[in-house]
């Protein structure tokens, strides 16, 4: 097989995997994985050297430490990003009380969990809102107001919000853990210059 043919096969395979992930995390009312996750810690995220698991795809901190920041999006308002500026999302089929992720297998390929092995550094987010929850693979996922948070594989660059509203279950997360919603920006007001009367004909 030629080099060109090999690259074509790989590209098609990657696209198919992302498609399966979106389908697995879509509109079904059932969770995408019935395997129960480990009990939630229910505590604010603290540095925990030696915690099993690997850093999430953002790898945005040092020594496995996750970084959460806020950013004002023109369409969604104030939302949370990872340390590299990639939008973080929450999933309606997860639970916040107790915190539990239901995104595994193909779903986790399309929606990689934001994980940490060394606590969380915050910028613009209350420490009391942030915690962690164990995943079935042994990693530790960051939560906001109890909701596990994720990246979206189809966000190609910092600032992208392509995951907003996907399948009616995925939404950018705000600093207090609520779902971001599209804001309506009012049209700019234009002030008309006063009409000048000319010889008494302006009224």
The pLDDT, as a whole number, for residue 57 is 43
Backbone φ and ψ of 178, nearest 5°: -80, 170
Position 189 scores a pLDDT of 55
Q: What angle do CA 174, 49, 101 make, to 5 degrees?
A: 40
- In the chain, what is the straight-line distance between the N-terminal and C-terminal CA atoms, in Å? 83
Spatial CB neighbours of 125, under 8 Å, sequence gap ≥ 6: 68, 69, 70, 80, 144, 175
Residues of the chain with pLDDT under 70: 1-63, 184-203
Q: Report pTM.
A: 0.67
pLDDT score of 26: 63
Neighbours of 51 (CB within 10 A): 17
What is the model's pLDDT at position 143? 98
Residue 107: the pLDDT is 98
Would you state the pLDDT for residue 182? 87
Q: What are the sequence ranges of the domains in the chain?
A: 38-172
In 55-83, which positions are buried (b, 16+ CB within 10 angstroms) versus exposed (e)?
bbbbebbeebbbbbbebebeebeebbbbb
What's residue 12's pLDDT?
Answer: 41
């Amino acid at each position: 097989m030629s080099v060109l043919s090999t690259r074509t096969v790989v590209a098609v395979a990657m696209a198919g995997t992302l498609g399966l992930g979106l389908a697995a995390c879509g509109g079904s009312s059932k969770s995408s994985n019935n395997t129960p996750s480990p009990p939630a810690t229910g505590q604010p995220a603290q540095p925990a050297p030696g915690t099993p698991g690997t850093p999430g795809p953002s790898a945005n901190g040092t020594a496995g430490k996750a970084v959460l920041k806020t950013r004002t999006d023109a369409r969604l308002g104030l939302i949370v990003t990872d340390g590299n500026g990639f939008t973080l999302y929450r999933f309606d089929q997860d639970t916040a009380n107790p915190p539990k992720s239901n995104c595994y297998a193909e779903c986790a390929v399309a929606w990689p969990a934001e994980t940490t092995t060394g606590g969380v550094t915050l910028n613009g987010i209350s420490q009391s809102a942030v915690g962690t929850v164990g995943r079935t693979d042994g990693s530790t996922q960051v939560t906001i107001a109890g909701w596990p948070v994720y990246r979206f594989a189809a966000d190609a660059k910092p600032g992208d919000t392509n995951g907003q509203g996907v399948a009616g279950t995925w939404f950018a997360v705000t600093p207090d853990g609520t779902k971001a919603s599209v804001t309506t920006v009012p049209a700019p007001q234009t002030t008309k210059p006063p009409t000048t009367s000319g010889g008494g004909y302006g009224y």
